[in-house]
Amino acid sequence: MALLDTWRDMAYSETANKGDLQRLWTDYFQKEKDIYAELLKNPDEVVSGTVAELAEKYGIDIMTMTGFLDGINDSLKEANPIEEMEEDTEVSLAFDKELLYKNMVAAGADWLYELPEWEEIFDEDKRKELYREQKLSMTVVKPDKVYPNDPCPCGSGKKYKKCCGKKG
């Protein structure tokens, strides 16, 4: 079974004890935060290696590294083959800084997008702008309702009920 399947079966288990799952995620989030803090210290350095090498580099187990690779994949300049990766698969952590920040915001991961390392990468205005852009991209805007006596949105000048709103 590929690493990703094993990680997802473990981390998103329907049958696992809820306390065990909570401990797994609490532990994972702390390790994830530590790795991001390290990566953000040199954001232009391309960190790469096998899954096993990166797990060793950051002092974590293979499953935690697999979860991290799953989480960062959408923020990378070039996606890793996470669906079929094994311990000896070469992966890269070359991330797009703006995309990573926005994805952290989208995930609601304030413990990540509020890391002090971001302050050296983007000034406060830029971080606010990226935050705002991400939040707006997730906002659903419903069009205004057109009532029968309103001017028709097609621009004819007629009332909606006498134009496009006519029942046939």
DSSP 95-106: B-HHHHHHHHHH
Give me the half-sphere count of Cα atoms (radius 13 Å) on the Cβ side of residue 101.
23
Q: What is the pTM of this model?
A: 0.81
**Contact present, 163 and 152 (Cβ < 8 Å):** yes
Output the six-digit token pair for 78: 């070039």
The one-letter code for the residue type at 95 is F
pLDDT at 3 over 80: yes
**Contact present, 73 and 79 (Cβ < 8 Å):** yes
Q: Which tens digit of pLDDT belongs to each residue from 104-116?
A: 999 999 999 999 9
pLDDT at 168 over 60: no
